Structures are given as structure tokens and as C-alpha cells.
Amino acid sequence: MRIDVNTFLGAYPFRRVPGTSPDALLHAMDRVGVDQAWISHLPSVFWQDPAAGNPWLFETADRYDRLRPIPAVHPGLEGWQQIVGEARASGAPAVRCDPAYYGLEPAGPEMRALVAACSAEGVPLMLAVRLEDARQRHPNDRAGELPPWAVRTLIRGDPAVRLLVTHAERGFVEEVHFGSTPEESTRIWWDICWIWGPPEDHLQTLLRTIGVERFVFGTGQPLRLPETSVAKLDLLDLTGEQRAAIESENIQSVTLPPTQSAAKGRGRRPKLSGTT
């Protein structure tokens, strides 16, 4: 079982990216042996109301058994709390927020309110450090990257919130992990897509120093080749148990218990709202 927690659907505004349709994603998943993908709606990261992409996202996930939606929440817009509640009711494995793209302070009052709401609903919050290498971003793509201190602040701001952080590199992971209390760090999971393999061996180092249990399989596809995350694991000497933990078991511990997620919430999906 391999679950890719970090995938996108829809066009990217700053360059042409092939393979952004659901069928193309499924084809890529087959190519690299991914059984299930958590999907985010890429265009709406850049919209005034990111939640306006959620209905399409849910409808798409409804049509494809292997896709699970990660609805977007903008905690500065009216009605955002309802989206978190709907996410829980529908069995979405997490919600996402990209504060820098939304023009929010990454650990400001809106984000702290979102963390509290996610905690109350028991829904993990997904945060991306970046979407592209800073050196190659479009001149007009000026949103800042998520800073490590913001993750430390958010995890400290609520005693129960669970964070899933994607696209983080070794230094980021280490700063947050060792800059948090042991209890706080057990509520953060990291996807492996941006962590270097050999010869620098950043991923191998982190698995040793921070622990296999903190890492999950993610790719960032189709913005990034999904083969990369598979290659990272193939270059490690992992036991079967360790590999299974990273590829699926760790993330299953992040999500809601099966009785609550109710097979993706089919049959009891609420009317979905954007925040407009």
C-alpha cells in the first residue's frame, strides 16, 4: 500500500505542467505504484477564495475511488469554520491552507484560529513549505515560503492540533523538530518529497535522528516527478516495516479512525460550501 499525500489537480498559473487532470494523475499513480492519492486543487491556491475549488475537488474524489480530497480553507474569509466541519463530516483526511499565497501571516491570528478549529474537529492541517524551487519561480510569483518558526508557533499554539507539512527540506525539518517539545513534535508529520537522498543522505539522516514514524510518502506531483520519492526510498536500506510505515501506515495514524471516516464519507456528504 502506497499513499501519496501530496498531489495536485488543475493548472498551475506560472508555467505549463502536463498531467494535471484526474485521469493523468491516475495514470502517473499506476506508473509509480501509488494506490491512493490525496488531492489538492492547484488553481485555487491562487484564487481570492481558495475554498471555491473545494466542490470540484469533492466531486472529483467522488468519481475516483483512489483519490481523497484535501479541501482548502482560508481562515480570513467569512464562513471558513464550516469548511473544517464539512471536511470532518465528509471524511476528508485533512484540510490545507497556504497562508503565504493567501496573503496571511503564517502564524497570525487567522492561522491560529484555524489551528484551533482543526484541533477541535480532529482534522489534520496540511501546510506546504513551497510549491517550487525559489530560484525558478516566476518573477510575479512572490508569495513567501512557509517559515519554520511558523510551524513551531502553530504546533505550540494548540495542544491537540496535528500538522502535515509538505515540501520541507532537511534543515526545515530539523529546526522545527528540535525546536519543539517532544510532545509537540509527535503531532507533526513530514512528507519526503523535498528531502535529499544520496550522496548527502538527508533523508537517511532524518530517519535516524528524528524517526521513521514522523515521515510519510508524498511527491508533489504533477509539479514534480513522482518517481523521485520512490527513488529516495529505493536508495535506502529500509526494513519492510519501515518502508510500510512511510508509505502508508504513518499517515493512516494521522487520519480519522475508520469508523469516523466512513469510507470517505460517501452517502453522508454534506452540502459543500465555499466561503463566497
- Contact residues for another protein, defined by CB under 8 A: 15-19, 31, 132-133, 135-136, 139, 196-201, 221-225, 227-228, 230-232, 234-235
For residue 161, which of 197, 115, 206, 193 has the smallest C-alpha distance?
A: 115
DSSP string, 111-142: HHHHHHHHHHHT--EEEES-SS-GGG--TT--
Q: Which is nearer to another protein, 88 or 224 (CB)?
A: 224
In the bound complex, what is the minimum distance in angstroms from residue 134's beta carbon to another protein? 8
SS3 197: coil
In the bound complex, what is the minimum distance in angstroms from residue 186's beta carbon to another protein? 27
In the bound complex, what is the minimum distance in angstroms from residue 70's beta carbon to another protein? 19
Q: Which is nearer to another protein, 137 or 156 (CB)?
A: 137
Length of the chain: 276
Q: CA 40, CA 62: separation in Å to the nearest integer?
A: 14
Q: Which is nearer to another protein, 50 or 222 (CB)?
A: 222
Q: CA 204, CA 212: separation in Å to the nearest integer?
A: 9
In the bound complex, what is the minimum distance in angstroms from residue 179's beta carbon to another protein? 23
Q: CA 85, CA 139: separation in Å to the nearest integer?
A: 37
Task: Tell me: cis bond preceding 199? Omega within 30 of 0 counts.
Answer: yes
Q: Which is nearer to another protein, 31 or 266 (CB)?
A: 31
Q: Which is nearer to another protein, 141 or 213 (CB)?
A: 141
In the bound complex, what is the minimum distance in angstroms from residue 260's beta carbon to another protein? 34
Q: CA 246, CA 190: separation in Å to the nearest integer?
A: 10
